[in-house]
Amino acid sequence: MSILSENAPARRRRITTESAIKAFFGSNALVAIVVLALITIFLFRDGFGFFGQNLANLRLYRRAGLEYVDIIRTQAQTHAALSRQLGDIRMQESRTLPSGSTLEAFDQFSAAFSDSGEFLNALVSDANDQALALREVLIAAGSASAVSSAEAQPSETAKPTAPVDPRAAMIALRTADEKFAKIAEGMKGKIDNLLAAPPVLSSPKARQSFEKWKKKTRDYVAQFPVVSQRLRQWNANEPVPAYRAITAFLFGRDWVTASFWQDWYGIIPLLVGSIMVAAVALLLAVPLGVCSAIYVSEVAARGEKSLIKPYIEFISAIPSVVLGFFGIAVVGQAVRALSQMPFMKWVPFFPISERLNVFTAGSLLALMAVPTIFTLAEDALRNVPRGFKEASYALGANRLQTIARVLVPASLSGIISAVLLGLGRVIGETMVVLLCAGNRIAIPDFTQGLGAFFQPVHTMTGIIAQEMGEVVRGSIHYRALFMVGLVLFALTLGINYLAQRLVARYRMSIG
Amino acid sequence: MIAAPSNRRRSRLLERVLFWVFRIGTYFVLLCATYIFLDIGIKGGRTVFTRTAPFVNVKFLTEPPQTLYVFDYQGKKMELSDREFREWKTTHKEDVDVTSVSYSAGGIWPCIVGTALLVIGSMTLALFIGISCAIYLSEYSRDGRFIRLIRVAILNLAGVPSIVFGLFGFGLFVIFFGWNVSLLSGWFTLGLMVLPAIITASEESLRAVPQGLREGSLALGATKWQTIRKNVLPYALPGILTSSILGIARVAGETAPIMFTAAYAMRDEMPWQVSHWTNFFFQGVMALPYHIYVVSSKIPQNEYTERVQYGTAFVFLVVVMLIALTSILLRERQRRRLSW
């Protein structure tokens, strides 16, 4: 009794040290949760202001009449596109002719067609200047708090010395209604005249495209009244609903920054780019990764196994920036050179013009994803209980049948989760896509079919890495990049969660 | 049911064909990787090694990057670095038609130093937090909702893309804490990024220590902490460190997290040339992976730039691969030896 009571203070002290140590380790264990929470908080903190700024941005777009001008501009652009198509048709035609002399009629026709848009272009450029001036006034008046990145640039239109009344400016801009109706009338007459006497083409291919072109042009002319109507009904004071700030981000098809006209922050081109690159990478990596996992765990001899496994693990340590550099220096060139080979002529979209494209980036990412898929799939295959295999052999199945009917189905959820984790790695990878995907912010032209996979794209990870260093802190552009980061974060978390769920289920089914 | 002989022969043929397909697929992957190693090894080796003694291009490894000046002088093609060109100018007064190529002369010494500093700092941080966390998880915790939450967080943290870590580091350390682009921001960003890998590896090693060692120690009257310090950690530490080497390869190899937290494209001072010792932590550094990104994307590809591009990639690849190789070999050895 006495010994214990003597030692009591010492023991109590020891106990408190013990619990202090425990608390210390416990607090370190908390770090993972804290970091995850902090990532979420900081992405939200810097990203969420985006919607407010984007809404102001969109409201200004309407109030300054930029939206109005864009309606007319679309018409002018369609006209220009039709003009360009005439050029393409001319190319087709001239290829079949030995000399260009007989194309005179066609040249006259296309010149007349492109001239018919003259007044429309003039109208667009006038309205353009008016709207920009009006926007300056509105920004100066502080009616819109949107700080567009374009504002920082010296604007081309001189700042009005005398304050202009925005309402008067808008009325001036709206005179374009009448002008457009008149111009459209004139254009319709000219184009109808032209279409009444089309030039005769000799090449069947050119004739076919010309027929298509004529149909498109008729459609174009036919919708003038509708456009005119839309212009008249357009109202600068119509409120922009708040949800537009979100939909313009999630479903926006343009990512245009630091433009003199209007900045757009739509994630779709980046998302499509990321998904296309990931699709190519997985298409290559899944068969290779699963093949090699089956080979190493079931077919390979012991010596072979002990060489291949560390080597593939070794591949996973190749830094992504080195792979990206290798893509620029070697793979891109090689892919383009291959597409220019004569024996590849049968592929419709070959030869390709860009050496850095979805395929280049995807094939390099595949090499990064193979080790991930291989390691996890091999684990899953090895973890199938021995009894399954033995039972299968005992029933007289050969090795292939055992693999296909027993081992792979038993480890399927493990393999699928391996593929998902590979996908997570590929979607989140930055350096390879930044260096090799071509970095053109546009949705690829899917009318080319599979050729779309040989066009340059930009990705979510790439755009953050590329533009983050240059933006002004707190600007709408800066916040938009954080929003992209948030989408990326949510996407990878979702993929991870799915993979974990699958693994958990798979463990139970085997146990 | 015994299959007919012809049937059996066909299935055997199919088996053989498919196994060959698997074999070819596996070796194709290995071949691709080998090709990359060879290409960078051969072309980079030309920069890093020399034919004459000391057989290593000392200048490339010990000088900062400089701008290269290329010009014709009296029918001779001159390629001079920034410093050499200025010296040459003092003795030659005539005007020459000069083409300048950024980053293509000199070497990569500051990048090597910067990468080493980043790795040392972030690994110290990650090992400290990671091992503590693993000790808690394997020695103190009982299974419960809290522990499950921690495990879920660790698993999810492992899947966060490195660029998101970069954004997070930029938002928290660079801007919110006001550390700017600095070593300290880079250490924390990289350290937190590699944390999940360290925790998982450490916990595995700790759990591999047999329960009997702990029970024996506790039975002799040692406290929990004494047991851990004397009877668990010493046996687990070699395993923890070996597995952590792979973390070093990852920290050294990542570019995205340091792009806006720690890396400068060009810096003239070396990291130790600071006015006050505290400034050491608040300075940005050059780093090998970022340098590769800069020289492969910001300058055009030609005969002059290829030298520095491949040279840097070679040095970087060799460093990272040596680290990875050490880790893999040590682990293989340990797996064989450590079966209690």
Q: What is the DSSP string of A55-117?
A: HHHHHHHHHTTHHHHHHHHHHHHHHHHHHHHHHHHHHHHHHHSSSGGGGHHHHHHHHHHHHTT
Rounded distance between C-alpha atoms, residue A469 and residue A369, angstroms: 28
DSSP 8-state code for residue A154: P
Please enumerate in sequence order all residues whose Cβ is within 8 A of that of A266, keeping only pairs 6 or more positions apart, or say none.
Answer: A248, A249, A251, A252, A253, A254, A255
User: Is B15 close to A399, i.e. CB distance below 8 A?
Assistant: yes
Among A1-5, A64-68, B91-95, which stretch is predicted with the lowest mean pLDDT? Answer: A1-5
* Number of alpha helices (DSSP H) and beta strands (DSSP E) in chain B: 13, 3
pTM: 0.85
CB within 8 Å of B333: residues ≥ 6 apart:
none
Residue A447 has, within 13 A of its CA and on its CB side, a CA count of: 0
* The pLDDT of residue A144: 43
Q: Which residues in chain A have their CB less than 8 angstroms from residue B325's CB?
A: 314
Least confident range of A91-105, A261-275, B82-96 = A91-105
CA-closest candidate to residue A372, choices A294, A285, A304, A296:
A285
Locate tokens 């983050």: which residue?
A468
Residue A161: predicted pLDDT = 47
- The SS3 of residue A436 is helix
**Cβ contact (<8 Å) for B159 and A492?**
yes
**pLDDT value of position A157:** 46
Question: If pLDDT is split at 50, 70 and 90, which confidence band does A511 have?
Answer: very low
Q: Mean pLDDT across the stretch A190-202? A: 78
Q: State the residue for tokens 């739509």.
A: A266
The per-residue pLDDT for range A450-483, each reduced to its tens digit, is 888 889 999 999 999 999 888 888 888 999 999 9
d(CA B308, CA B316): 12
The C-alpha atoms of residue B279 and residue A19 are separated, in whole angstroms, by 38
d(CA A209, CA A112): 19
Give the nearest partner residue to B225 out of A18, A30, A326, using CB atoms. Answer: A18
Q: DSSP secondary structure string, B46-77?
A: HHHB-SSTT-B-HHHHHS-EEEEEEEEETTEE
Contact between chains at A296 and B246 (C-beta distance less than 8 A): no
B165 to chain A: nearest residue by CA?
Answer: A39
Q: How confident is residue A159, by pLDDT bands cut at 50, 70 and 90? A: very low
Question: Cβ B159–A401 below 8 Å, yes or no?
Answer: no
Burial of B237 (0-12, 13-18, 19+ CB in 10 A): middle
Q: How many CA atoms lie within 13 A of A232 on its CB side?
A: 10
Q: Are A469 and A379 in contact (CB under 8 A)?
A: no
Q: How confident is the model at residue A150 (pLDDT cuts 50, 70, 90)?
A: very low
H-type alpha helices, A347-475: 358-382, 386-394, 399-402, 408-410, 412-428, 431-436, 460-467
**A380-390: b (≥16 Cβ within 10 Å) or e:** bbeebeeebbe
User: How many Å lie between the alpha carbon of B279 and the closest alpha carbon of chain A?
Assistant: 23
The whole-angstrom distance between A36's CA and the closest CA on chain B is 6
Q: How far is CA A503 from CA A282, A506, B145, B160, B184, in A?
A: 20, 5, 19, 18, 37
Tell me the one-letter amino acid at A13.
R
ipTM of the prediction: 0.90
Between positions 126 and 145 of B, the ones with CB within 8 A of A are 129, 132-133, 135-137, 139-141
Indicate if the pLDDT at residue A102 is higher than 80. no
B248: exposed, middle or buried (C-beta count within 10 Å: 0-12, 13-18, 19+)?
A: buried
Q: pLDDT of chain B along its 340 residues, tens only?
A: 455 667 778 888 888 899 999 999 999 999 999 999 999 999 988 888 877 767 778 888 888 888 888 887 777 777 777 777 888 877 777 777 777 788 877 788 899 999 999 999 999 999 999 999 999 999 888 878 888 888 889 988 988 999 999 999 999 999 899 888 899 999 999 999 999 999 998 998 899 899 999 999 999 999 888 999 988 998 888 888 877 887 888 888 888 999 989 888 888 778 787 777 888 888 888 999 999 999 888 887 777 888 888 999 999 999 998 888 888 888 777 766 655 4
Could you tell me which chain A residue has the CA closest to the CA of B8?
A398
Instruction: Output phi, psi for A184, to 5 deg.
Output: -60, -40
Name the residue in chain A with its Cα closest to that of B203: A29
Q: Do B156 and A318 touch (CB under 8 A)?
A: no
- The DSSP bridge partners found for residue B77 are B72
* pLDDT: which is higher, B221 or A127: B221
What are B318's two structure tokens?
Answer: 């060799």
| Domains of chain B, residue spans | 1-48, 65-106, 109-337
Return d(Cα B320, Cα A318) in angstroms, integer. Answer: 7
Chain B partners within 8 Å of A432 (Cβ): none
The predicted-structure confidence for B295-311, as pLDDT tens digits, reads as follows 888 887 777 888 888 99
- Name the pLDDT band for A98 (thresholds 50, 70, 90): low
Rounded mean pLDDT, A328-336: 89
End-to-end CA distance of chain B: 47
Answer whether B164's CB lies under 8 Å from A39's CB. yes
Out of B167, B255, B324, closest to residue A43 by CB = B167
Lowest mean pLDDT among A5-9, A322-326, A348-352, A413-417: A5-9
Let me know: does B261 contact B186? Beta carbons within 8 Å: yes
Q: What are phi and psi of B64, to 5 degrees?
A: -75, 160
Respond yes or no on whether the N-terminal peptide bond of residue A351 is cis (omega within 30° of 0).
yes
Longest dimension (CA), chain B: 97
- Report the chain A residue with the minimal C-alpha distance to residue B125: A28
DSSP β-bridge partners for residue B65:
B106
Nearest by CB: A292 against B25, B175, B325: B25
**Is pLDDT larger for residue B278 or for residue A152?**
B278
Partner A contacted by B317 (CB < 8 A): yes
Nearest residue in chain A measured CA to CA from B168: A39
Q: How far is A111 from chain B (nearest CA, A)?
A: 40
Minimum CA–CA partner of B291 in chain A:
A321
pLDDT (0 to 100) of residue A464:
93
Residue A324 CA, chain-centre distance (Å), reads 19
Of B192, B195, B253, the CB nearest to A319: B253
Question: Helix or strand or coil: residue A420?
Answer: helix
CB of B149 within 8 Å of any CB in chain A?
yes
Q: What is the DSSP letter of A175?
A: T
Domain B109-337 has CATH 1.10.3720.10: yes
Smallest CA–CA distance from B198 into chain A, residue:
A32
Chain A residues with CB under 8 Å of B306 CB are 329
- The angle that helices B233-253 and B183-208 make with each other, rounded to 10 degrees, is 140
Q: How confident is the model at residue A434 (pLDDT cuts 50, 70, 90)?
A: very high
Q: In this predicted structure, what is the pLDDT of residue B188? A: 94
Q: Is B195 on the interface with A (CB under 8 A)?
A: yes
Enumerate the residues of chain A whose CB falls inside 8 A of the CB of residue B160. Answer: 36, 39, 428, 489, 492-493
> Do A42 and B164 lie within an 8 Å CB cutoff?
no
d(CA B1, CA B125): 64
pLDDT band at A507 (very low <50, low <70, confident <90, very high): low
Tell me what the pLDDT averaged over chain A comes to. 82
CB contact under 8 A, B313 and A325: yes
Residue A93: name the closest of A209, A180, A237, A267 by CA.
A209
B270 at A interface, C-beta within 8 A: no
For B2, the closest chain A residue by CA position comes to: A396
Q: What is the nearest CA distance from A150 to chain B, expressed in angstroms?
A: 23
> B36 Cβ partners below 8 Å, 6+ apart?
A318, A322, A323, A326, A367
Q: Please give the Cα distance from B153 to A389 (Å, whole number).
A: 36
* CA–CA distance, A82 with A223 (Å, rounded to integer): 15
